């Protein structure tokens, strides 16, 4: 049988555990606060781009490398690797122009992050892939066309 002291010790220990665990539950919601819903839900590349970056002008650059197959037999899972030698990258975003939802990913990078990402994406139909990097207030971009034999995205 528990003594009164043991009972209160266990209750206080349980309360501390519940409080500590409960305070961790809100952490994923912090990331959602920065989520640009308009950009990710946009159905047109240009509108998604403007929702994410405003009406700034894109400068083409060869310092962004996009590694992806020229022909994807099945658009359900296409590997893409993006890297850049540009310094002080603030954000890096990947768009697939002809997808139902063109904005695939947008990464906010810290000062010491290495801007090198590999992802697998669904591609609805043959389309240019655009990578946009924001650095020192400028928007830099590079594109690559991918031909898709069998689409991987359903409309809707």
> Residue 22 has what pLDDT?
61
Global confidence as pTM: 0.75
Alpha carbon distance 142, 58 (integer Å): 9
What would the mean pLDDT of 100-109 be, rounded to a whole number? Answer: 92
> Residue 153 has what pLDDT?
61
The third-level CATH classification (topology) of the domain covering 34-150 is Immunoglobulin-like (2.60.40)
DSSP assignments along 18-80, one per residue:
HHHHHHHTTHHHHHHHT--HHHHH-SSHHHHHHHHHTTPPEEE-SSEEEE--SEEEETTSEEE
What would the mean pLDDT of 89-96 be, rounded to a whole number? Answer: 93
Mean per-residue pLDDT of the chain: 84
Segments making up each domain of the chain, as ranges? 1-33, 34-150
């Amino acid at each position: 049988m528990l003594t009164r002291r043991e009972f209160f010790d266990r209750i206080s220990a349980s309360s501390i555990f519940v409080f500590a665990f409960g305070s961790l539950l809100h952490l994923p919601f912090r990331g959602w606060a920065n989520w640009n819903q308009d950009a990710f839900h946009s159905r047109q590349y240009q509108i998604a781009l403007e929702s994410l970056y405003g009406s700034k002008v894109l400068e083409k650059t060869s310092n962004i490398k996009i590694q992806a197959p020229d022909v994807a037999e099945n658009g359900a899972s296409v590997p893409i690797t993006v890297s850049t030698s540009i310094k002080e990258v603030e954000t890096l975003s990947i768009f697939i122009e002809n997808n139902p939802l063109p904005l695939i990913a947008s990464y906010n990078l810290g000062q010491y992050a290495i801007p090198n990402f590999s992802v697998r994406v669904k591609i609805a139909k043959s389309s240019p892939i655009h990578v946009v990097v924001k650095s020192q207030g400028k928007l830099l971009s590079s594109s690559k066309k991918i031909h898709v034999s069998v689409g991987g995205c359903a409309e809707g």
